[in-house]
């Protein structure tokens, strides 16, 4: 986030805080082992507390004003001893990824949780995350809009801030950066040998304009560079290098297998925000109104695509002190008084309010 400069030249009276956060509530449940009635070994409140802190540090670095609030500040135990076929514990050790009926069981888990909130600890006003065993495998399962539940494993998934934020990214409608990638034989036919295939073609179907092609088998910045530009990483120009780095460190990639990932691109954050504003409204306490000098007050709706043009319009539709008016870089020389509580933030360059 660039600094917003408020110039008081008789044009603007600022009765607003300079920064604030849109709170996203998360509710986290530890599914108990039906054989012992206990949590998985190592699943502890303190470990997830560290995870929340690290996720919030990453969100703060993006400058969009989001912050996680861990409801209750503790893991909630659900299920119990001998509940092999009832309650949350029936899902304690399901491999939702590899089991033939994994998708069906995930949907069943979610439906039962929504229908029995007291038993499952379901919170309709929060992102619901359940810690399960996944048959001992290191998997995690998300929900895109249309579904709600997130399942993370107790081996290492729930303690890994990049992994949990990756799954929450899916919840806010972010796809994998390698979506649409292809594995081909040398003759161009489909290959089933995974990363051993002759041709690894990067995917670019994540619906985010500022991400380049990516592949879950590319295991270096050099692989990403060659796959996109036909050049070694060391030969790229500054813009190309930045694009490759944004993939290598991207939270929605699978490069977390090689190193810790820590970033979303600006367009990924726009997509997150649009989803938070609309599909995921119940889990957050404020919304973002996008404003740009290239926007349009008449047809704009305050989203990342149809942005408003003026600060006056952006602030006029604010109805909560938790709302953020997000200004793209430029000068907003508007005679006005802001008398309601809100937060102004800038993105993609400095925004000047008043005479430049």
DSSP letters spanning 228-266: HHSS-GGG--HHHHHHHHHHHTBTTSSGGGTS---B--H
Q: How many domains does the chain have?
A: 3
Name the band, by pLDDT with cuts 50, 70 and 90, for residue 2. very low
- Is 113 part of any domain? yes
pLDDT greater than 70 at residue 330:
yes
Q: Closest Cα partner for 345 from 290, 272, 264?
A: 290
- Between CA 155 and CA 134 the distance in angstroms is 9
* Residue 89 shares a structural domain with residue 40: yes
3-state secondary structure (DSSP) of residue 151 = strand
Give 294's DSSP letter.
T
* Residue 32 shares a structural domain with residue 69: yes
**Could you tell me where the DSSP H helices lie in 63-160?**
102-115, 117-120
* Residue 322 shares a structural domain with residue 214: no
Q: What phi and psi, each to the nearest 5 degrees, are found at residue 72?
A: 80, -20
What is the tens place of the pLDDT at every residue in 221-269?
999 999 999 999 999 999 999 999 999 999 999 999 889 999 999 999 9
Averaged pLDDT, 90-102: 96
Determine which helix (DSSP H) or strand (DSSP E) holds 271, and give its type and residue range. helix 266-277
Tell which of 257, 278, 297 closes a domain.
257
Name the band, by pLDDT with cuts 50, 70 and 90, for residue 354. confident
Q: What phi and psi, each to the nearest 5 degrees, are found at residue 129?
A: -120, 130
- Is 243 part of any domain? yes
Please report the sign of the dihedral spanned by the C-alpha atoms of residue 75, residue 81, residue 84, residue 85.
Answer: negative
Measured in whole angstroms, the distance separating CA 40 from the mean position of its chain's CA atoms is 26
Name the band, by pLDDT with cuts 50, 70 and 90, for residue 305. very high
Intra-chain end-to-end CA distance of the chain, in Å: 19
What is the tens place of the pLDDT at every residue in 245-258?
999 999 999 999 88
pTM (2 d.p.): 0.94
Q: Closest Cα partner for 167 from 197, 132, 191?
A: 132
* Residue 67 shares a structural domain with residue 128: yes
3-state secondary structure (DSSP) of residue 333 = coil
pLDDT for the residue numbered 208: 98
* Residue 47 shares a structural domain with residue 118: yes
- Is 263 part of any domain? no
Q: Where are the beta strands (DSSP E) in the chain?
A: 4-6, 12-14, 22-31, 66-70, 76-78, 127-132, 140-141, 150-153, 182-184, 199-201, 288-291, 324-332, 336-338, 343-353
The CATH number that applies at residue 324 is 3.30.1910
In the structure encoding, which two tokens stand for residue 242, read together? 């930045």
Name the band, by pLDDT with cuts 50, 70 and 90, for residue 155. confident
- Is 267 part of any domain? no
Tell which of 147, 175, 203 closes a domain.
175
- Is 33 part of any domain? yes
- Is 268 part of any domain? no
b/e per residue, 263-277, with b = 16+ CB within 10 A? Answer: bbbbbbbbbbbbbbb
* Residue 203 shares a structural domain with residue 244: yes
CB 177 within 8 A of CB 156: no
Q: Closest Cα partner for 324 from 289, 282, 356?
A: 289
| Count of C-beta atoms within a 10 Å radius of residue 119 | 16
Tell which of 127, 158, 175 closes a domain.
175
In the structure encoding, which two tokens stand for residue 112, read together? 């039962």
* Residue 146 shares a structural domain with residue 199: no
Q: Is the backbone of residue 99 left (phi > 0), alpha (psi -120 to 50) or beta?
A: beta
Domain range for 196: 182-257
């Amino acid at each position: 986030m660039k600094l917003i400069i408020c110039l008081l030249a008789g044009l603007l009276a600022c009765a607003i805080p300079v920064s604030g956060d849109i709170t996203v509530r998360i509710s986290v449940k530890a599914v108990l082992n039906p054989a012992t009635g206990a949590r998985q070994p190592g699943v502890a409140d303190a470990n997830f507390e560290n995870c929340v802190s690290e996720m919030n540090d990453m969100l703060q670095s993006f400058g969009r004003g989001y912050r996680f609030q861990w409801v209750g500040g503790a893991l909630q135990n659900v299920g119990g001893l001998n509940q092999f076929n009832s309650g949350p514990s029936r899902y304690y050790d399901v491999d939702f990824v590899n089991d033939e009926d994994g998708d069906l069981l995930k949907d069943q888990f979610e439906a039962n949780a929504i229908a029995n909130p007291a038993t499952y600890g379901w919170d309709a006003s929060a992102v619901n995350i359940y810690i399960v065993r996944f048959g001992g495998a290191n998997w995690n399962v998300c929900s895109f809009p249309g579904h709600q539940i997130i399942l993370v494993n107790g081996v290492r998934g729930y303690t890994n801030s990049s992994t949990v934020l990756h799954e929450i990214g899916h919840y806010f409608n972010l796809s994998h950066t390698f979506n649409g990638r292809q594995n081909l034989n040398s003759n161009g036919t489909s290959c089933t040998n995974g990363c051993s295939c002759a041709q690894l073609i990067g995917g670019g179907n994540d619906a985010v304009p500022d991400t380049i092609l990516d592949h879950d088998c590319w295991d270096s910045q050099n692989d990403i560079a060659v796959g996109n530009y036909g050049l070694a990483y060391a030969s790229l120009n500054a813009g190309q290098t930045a694009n490759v780095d944004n993939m290598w460190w991207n939270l929605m990639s699978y490069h977390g297998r090689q190193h810790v990932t820590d970033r979303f691109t600006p367009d990924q954050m726009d997509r997150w925000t649009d989803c938070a504003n609309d599909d995921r409204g119940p889990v957050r306490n404020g919304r973002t109104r996008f404003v740009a000098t290239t926007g349009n007050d008449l047809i704009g709706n305050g989203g990342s695509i149809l942005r408003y043009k003026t600060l006056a319009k952006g602030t006029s539709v604010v109805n909560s002190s938790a709302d953020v008016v997000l200004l793209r870089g430029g000068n907003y020389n508007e005679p006005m008084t802001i008398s309601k509580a809100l937060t102004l933030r800038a993105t993609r360059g400095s925004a000047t309010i008043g005479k430049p």
